[in-house]
Chains A and B, each alone.
Chain A
Amino acid sequence: MITSLGERHLLLRHHEHGHGHDHGHGDLIETKTRGSRRIKVVKRVLDANDITAGRNRELFACKKVFVLNMMSSPGSGKTTTLEKTLARLMPEMKAAVIVGDICTTNDADRLASSGAPVVQINTDQFGGDCHLAAHVIEKALDGIDLDAIDLLIVENIGNLVCPAEFDIGEDKRVVVLSVTEGEDKPAKYPLMFRVCDAALINKTDLLPYLDYDLKAAEETIARINPGMSVFKISAKTEDGFDAWLDWLKDQVRVKLG
């Protein structure tokens, strides 16, 4: 996933306009055929998003903030996982949260009880979107004192398709899935599992009551993203949280030193 992101950024730099390269609009190659002119464009459609994401990433680097993009399907237990994660992290780390939801502030209200500053984004103010785009994060940053935090967690919209496509300037990406969903979820949403660095398989406390094939899910993830860290957790009992939190703290430490 790091590779594919890297590839995208290379492409972006190559085609970015207005930054002093002499190719700027030199990419325009015109061929004339009968009755029409063909103009070479070669531009990523999400160029504007990637440029904003790059700007966010530079700001986070400058302010020494580690940013985690948390994605999942609806109902996977992402907010509970985040609540418990914050409760355990906050004593040693200063964190803030950006929560994306199409409507309601329920998640923000729950998360605020952790003591972490929470910025709620309702995407219907931004066009009823299905993901958080980089410019939405940029805007939400107005409400967060980046100098006062080490860790910013973005709780993305519950959706396994669109958020995978939009870089927001994060350092790492985590996908939460739960054992009450099908074990074939990773195979159905390969891009999400390809672009994420870690997967949290949640609600393991329910395994005795379900026919969920945990091994099959893990094998599928390993085929899609062999380097992915997979943590089996229960946000209810906090079973498996030590390994997940150690991973997260390590990632923050690697960036912030």
Chain B
Amino acid sequence: MHEMGIALEVIRIAGESIPAEHAGARIERINLKVGKLAAVVADSLLFCFQVASKDTPAEGAELVIEQIPVKLYCRDCGRQWTVEEPVFVCNGCGSAQVEMISGRELDIDTIELVDEDSDDNQPG
């Protein structure tokens, strides 16, 4: 429901991450990591991104969402495992001392800029 806010933040952070020496460059791709437990609907985010990126360096960029599984770690027996269902009890020893090591990400990993100076873009 707050995907528009997230899209705007993604666009802002991506824009600010363009190094000064490439000022004015267009963003070709934004690689996002989104945990399965993050309160984000990928389709809504993609739609909002498309709308909100107009007239920004991210206009026309591809938003690539990598979904990160929910991984748990048991502090008692050291077991690590991936869960599909929301059960946060160790499936080995039954301990409740379980830590979430991934699954809540909402991170911009990398951005890719169109390289205007690249030889590939030169005619001939």
By a beta-carbon cutoff of 8 Å, the part of chain A in contact with chain B is 3-4, 7-8, 28, 30, 32, 34-48, 127, 129-131, 133, 159, 161-162, 164-165, 187, 190-191, 193-194, 222-227
Contact = CB atoms under 8 A, between A and B. Distances in A.
A252 B39 CA distance: 29
Contacts of A162: 1-2, 39
Nearest to A224: B86
B39 A191 contact: yes
Contacts of A7: 99-100, 104
B121 A194 contact: no
Contacts of B6: 45-46
Given A39-B17, A162-B1, A225 B88 contact: yes
Given A39-B111, A191-B38, A194-B86, 5 more contacts: A28-B17, A36-B118, A39-B112, A39-B113, A41-B17
Interface string B99-116: 110001011111111110
B48 interface: no
Contacts of A36: 28-29, 112-115, 118
A194 B114 CA distance: 41
8 contacts: A3-B100, A28-B17, A36-B28, A39-B17, A42-B110, A46-B106, A161-B39, A165-B38
B79 interface: no
Contacts of B124: none
Contacts of A47: 9, 13
Nearest to A30: B19
A39 B87 CA distance: 37
B26 to A, nearest CB: 10
B63 to A, nearest CB: 12
B114 A35 contact: yes
A244 B104 CA distance: 29
B89 interface: yes
B89 A42 contact: no
A187 B88 CA distance: 12
Which 5 pairs between the two chains have the least Cβ-Cβ distance? A226-B96, A190-B86, A130-B1, A165-B39, A35-B120
A45 B118 contact: no
B5 A34 contact: no
B68 interface: no
Given A35-B120, A38-B112, A46-B106, A127 B96 contact: no
A7 B102 CA distance: 10
B54 interface: no
Nearest to A46: B106
B5 A127 contact: yes
Contacts of B9: 45-48
A217 B33 CA distance: 32
Contact of A39 (B19, B32, B89, B96): B19
Contact of A43 (B39, B96, B107, B115): B107
A187 B86 contact: yes
